Chain A
Amino acid sequence: MIFQLILIFIMIILAVAASLFKDLINAVVACAAVSLITSILFYFLQAPDVAMAEAAIGAGLTTAVFIIAIRKTERYEK
């Protein structure tokens, strides 16, 4: 229980951090971390299918797509 609470706390912190980072790559990494924690939470909530999907799609591919997009545009929020 405490473990989950800590995870949720970290997740919220990461999400807030993602909104504050000026470097978009950092923001995206924070976003990926949020996804990863979500995936773990899904596992705790007895949803292994969803956890797998979130890990593969949310944390993996989404991040890749974000990073490609940032490479094509600009890295720093102005």
Chain B
Amino acid sequence: MRRIVSIIILIIIAVGFIFAFSKIPFGKDKINVANYYIKKGIKQTGAVNIVTSVVLNYRGFDTLGEVTVLFIAAVGLGAVLFVERKIQKNMDDKEDKTKRASLILRTGSRLLFPLILLFGAYIFVHGHLTPGGGFQGGAIIASGFLLMYLAFPKQRINKKTSGLAESLSGLIFVGIGLLGLVFSGYFLTNFLPKGIPNTLFSAGIIPIIYIAIGFKVGFELTGIIDDLLERSR
């Protein structure tokens, strides 16, 4: 019964989709506001990756919000899965001490871990030049940590340090925004010199923010995995 009703409803919605999509032709040039970004982006922001300049400059506020969302998720997850330290300790003691990953995994991940971190860092530092940026780099860093968790289930990151790094990088983001407010009267203005496009030290505040985001995302995703692994048994 529920199935039938659901399918009928979904068919109706599908009809709605068809109507709506038929008005948005696929692959046609519908670019309107974005023309401005494409034409003036490099000059105004100094970043050759227009997506990055949109993400961090024209729509930087969205990104701030997005970082906040991730932050909320990390904090909220910590709050929901929170266990008093005493109980936590008891749980840890009960756990099987002999659980270990295989040798190949351990050695391999020891070898890979620095490389993954380096790759992640490369991605977010070059966010304004090549595809990629803080989010992607942060996710890659987090997957490096994930690998380490798989290899060494007993090892944990230092929650305090990672928490501090999270909040510091968040503060850097907001702080740069506020500095923009101070220097040019608008929040999140790209107030630094733009430099020569297509070089590493260009695009004003974009690399700085992307580095902050990279750290933040990396630590937050790691923290989420850590919380999930550790706290909730």
Interface residues of A (CB under 8 A from B): 47-49, 51-53, 56-57, 60-61, 64-65, 68-69, 72
- In the assembled complex, the CB of B53 is this many whole angstroms from the nearest CB of chain A, namely 12
Q: Please indicate the chain A residues that have their CB under 8 angstroms from the CB of B131 in the complex.
A: 48-49, 51-52
- In the assembled complex, the CB of A35 is this many whole angstroms from the nearest CB of chain B, namely 12
| Docked pose: A72 CA to B80 CA in angstroms | 15
Known: A65-B224, A65-B228, A68-B229. A49 touches B139 (CB 8 A): no
Tell me if A61 and B142 are in contact (CB < 8 A).
yes
The interface residues of chain B, by DSSP majority, are classed as: helix
Sorted nearest first, the 10 A-B pairs with minimum C-beta distance are: A48-B131, A56-B139, A52-B136, A57-B139, A68-B228, A49-B131, A49-B51, A53-B136, A60-B143, A64-B146
Partner pick for B139 among A47, A51, A53, A69, CB 8 A cutoff: A53
Tell me if B233 and A49 are in contact (CB < 8 A).
no
Q: Please indicate the chain A residues that have their CB under 8 angstroms from the CB of B228 in the complex.
A: 65, 68-69, 72
Tell me if B143 and A61 are in contact (CB < 8 A).
yes
| Docked pose: A64 CA to B227 CA in angstroms | 13
Q: Does B213 contact A (CB under 8 A)?
A: no
Interface positions, chain B 134-178, Cβ under 8 Å from A, are 135-136, 139-140, 142-143, 146
Tell me if A49 and B225 are in contact (CB < 8 A).
no
Tell me if A65 and B225 are in contact (CB < 8 A).
yes
Q: Does B46 contact A (CB under 8 A)?
A: no
Q: Please indicate the chain A residues that have their CB under 8 angstroms from the CB of B60 in the complex.
A: none
| Docked pose: A70 CA to B168 CA in angstroms | 33
Q: Scan B214-233; emit 1 where CB is below 8 A from any A CB, else 0.
A: 00000001001100110011
| Docked pose: A58 CA to B137 CA in angstroms | 14
Residue of A nearest to B130 (CB): A48
Q: Does B109 contact A (CB under 8 A)?
A: no
Q: Please indicate the chain B residues that have their CB under 8 angstroms from the CB of A47 in the complex.
A: 51
- In the assembled complex, the CB of B13 is this many whole angstroms from the nearest CB of chain A, namely 16
| Docked pose: A68 CA to B232 CA in angstroms | 10
Tell me if A57 and B232 are in contact (CB < 8 A).
no
